[in-house]
Structure formats: structure tokens, C-alpha cells
């Protein structure tokens, strides 16, 4: 997982543009505007502790239907909002889902689920670009006990703290990488608990392990080429560690592929074969 740029889209203008395009719900949405913007202020005041926000009892069934309609039925202003959200990612950010760093982000997750918080259905800072797998896996569940079960990649500052590690082994000629989460760089305990829940929620260790064979095969193939066969063990290790640095520079200290290659670089089995 990695942090992504927080959208600077004006939330109130976004809602007004979308609500004005909703002919059947326009009157309802206009009447809700004052209460809605108060809820926006509550969200913005609690971005570091979103678990403290509880669903509102202010909105009726028809109110919720109108609020959900803002996102669930396409309009030009809604499409413009989605485009603006994805454009905040930049070229590198568009390559990998910030939740898993495996697949491309092609959909949008409501961090506070729209089914529970319909008032935030088009709030820009509640909309996180992610991949289909992560969006489908997370669903409407966002709490484990009283704490959040997933990192908020806008507001939880995680990128400068290392927490993902791996070790490499070979059993019965099958390469195996074991991932582990360690809090060795002073991550606040409640954030580290969210990180642990994040890995469980998105089944990240299993998903990462599914990618291992292709990485190992690519490195074996590379070192089998004539220009690499004459390299010393130390030179091979240095090449891999340079690759680790490059990957971490682009995708953060906890980029799973960098962590895997780092583990492979310390493996005598890989380097010597």
C-alpha cells in the first residue's frame, strides 16, 4: 500500500453540480444541502480518526435514495469528478492500486461505505481509486471492532515507515517467500493495527505469494544470460539491491515486489544458481 495525493476538488461545488443534473431528485437534494455540508465538515475534521464518525439519523429513506442516486446513476458532472479523482494519481499512481500495489486502479472505493454514509457518496476525499479485486473484497465492511480495517491512503501517513518484510527459502526445489509485518520504525500502535487488518481484509499475503514465481523466474532468466553469467555473487546481489531501491523510490518502502527482491538478494540459493 502507498499514499496517494489528496484531491483538492471543492466538495460543495461538486455536489451542487451533480445535484443540479438530477431532475427527479433536485428538490430533495437542494433541501438537504445545509445538513449535508455540515456532515462534510465533520468528515474533514476527523480525517485522522474516521472511525469516530457514526452514521447519521438525519436522513430519511427517500433522502438516502436521492443521495445514493448522485453516485449510482451517471451524469456528466459525476464523470468529471471521477476523471479528476484519477488524474490526481499521476502516471506512476495510475499503474498500481494504492491498497494492494498489484493491479491497476480502475474503480473507486467509498472509504466510508456509501450504503452506511450516503451523504458522502460524492465527497471527493471519500473516494479512493483502487482495483476491482480490492473494491469487491472490501465491500461495506470498514471496521474491525472499533478500529478501521483498512488504511486510508489519503490520510494515514504510512509511506515513510517500513513495516513489510520477507524471507526467502526453497523447499523441495520450490521457492517460497514468507511475508511478515513488523513495527520497528515507530508506527503509532493503532495505525499498525489497521495495517494488520488491511492485510487480512485484502488477503494481501496470499495475493503477493501468487506473484512470486514470475519474479523468481524472471531473475533466474536474467542471470542465465551470457552477459550476466560472469558476474560474481556480490555483483548479482548489488544489481538486485539497486532494483529494490528503484522500486521503493517509485512505490514506497513497502512495495511488495521490492520486498521480495530484497529477500531474493540475500538468498545464496538464488545468487549461486
Does residue 267 have a pLDDT over 60? yes
HEC states along 1-29? CCCCCCCCCCHHHHHHHHHHCCCCCHHHH
> If we measure between CA atoms, which residue out of 147, 272, 246, 273 comes closest to residue 261?
246
Chain mean pLDDT for the chain: 91
pTM: 0.90
Please tell me the predicted confidence (pLDDT) of residue 15.
Answer: 97
Confidence band, pLDDT 50/70/90 cuts, at residue 185: very high
Does residue 272 have a pLDDT over 60? no
pLDDT tens digits for range 75-134 = 999 999 999 999 999 887 899 999 999 999 999 999 999 999 999 999 999 999 999 999
Report H helices in the chain.
Answer: 11-20, 26-45, 61-72, 76-87, 90-93, 132-138, 189-201, 204-209, 212-224, 226-229, 233-251, 256-265, 268-271
Please tell me the predicted confidence (pLDDT) of residue 193.
Answer: 95
pLDDT tens digits for range 131-159 = 999 999 998 889 988 899 999 999 998 87
Does residue 232 have a pLDDT over 90? no
pLDDT tens digits for range 47-80 = 999 999 999 999 999 999 999 999 999 899 999 9
Residues contacting 262, CB < 8 A, separation 6+: 166, 240, 241, 244
Question: C-alpha cell of 12?
Answer: 460543495
Amino acid at each position: 500500500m502507498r499514499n496517494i495525493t489528496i484531491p483538492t476538488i471543492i466538495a460543495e461545488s461538486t455536489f451542487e453540480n451533480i445535484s443540479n443534473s438530477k431532475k427527479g431528485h433536485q428538490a430533495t437534494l437542494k433541501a438537504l444541502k445545509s445538513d449535508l455540508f455540515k456532515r462534510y465538515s465533520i468528515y474533514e475534521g476527523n480525517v485522522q480518526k474516521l472511525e469516530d464518525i457514526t452514521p447519521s439519523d438525519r436522513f430519511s429513506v427517500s433522502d438516502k435514495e436521492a443521495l445514493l442516486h448522485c453516485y449510482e446513476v451517471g451524469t456528466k458532472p459525476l464523470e468529471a469528478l471521477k476523471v479528476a479523482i484519477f488524474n490526481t494519481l499521476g502516471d506512476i499512481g495510475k499503474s498500481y492500486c494504492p491498497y494492494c500495489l498489484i493491479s491497476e486502479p480502475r474503480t473507486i472505493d467509498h472509504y466510508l461505505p456509501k450504503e452506511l454514509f450516503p451523504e458522502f457518496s460524492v465527497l471527493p476525499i471519500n473516494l479512493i481509486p483502487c482495483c476491482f479485486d480490492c473494491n469487491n473484497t472490501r465491500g461495506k465492511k470498514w471496521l474491525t471492532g472499533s478500529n478501521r480495517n483498512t488504511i486510508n491512503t489519503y490520510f494515514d501517513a504510512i509511506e515513510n515507515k517500513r513495516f513489510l518484510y520477507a524471507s526467502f527459502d526453497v523447499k523441495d526445489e520450490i521457492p517460497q517467500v514468507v511475508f511478515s509485518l513488523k513495527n520497528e520504525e515507530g508506527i503509532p500502535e493503532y495505525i499498525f493495527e489497521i495495517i494488520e487488518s488491511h492485510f487480512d481484509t485484502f488477503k494481501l499475503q496470499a495475493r503477493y505469494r501468487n506473484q512470486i514465481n514470475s519474479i523468481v523466474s524472471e531473475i533466474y532468466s536474467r542471470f542465465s544470460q551470457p552477459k550476466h553469467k560472469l558476474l560474481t555473487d556480490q555483483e548479482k546481489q548489488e544489481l538486485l539491491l539497486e532494483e529494490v531501491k528503484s522500486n521503493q523510490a517509485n512505490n514506497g518502502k513497502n512495495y511488495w515486489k521490492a520486498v521480495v527482491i530484497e529477500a531474493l538478494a540475500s538468498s545464496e540459493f538464488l545468487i549461486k544458481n
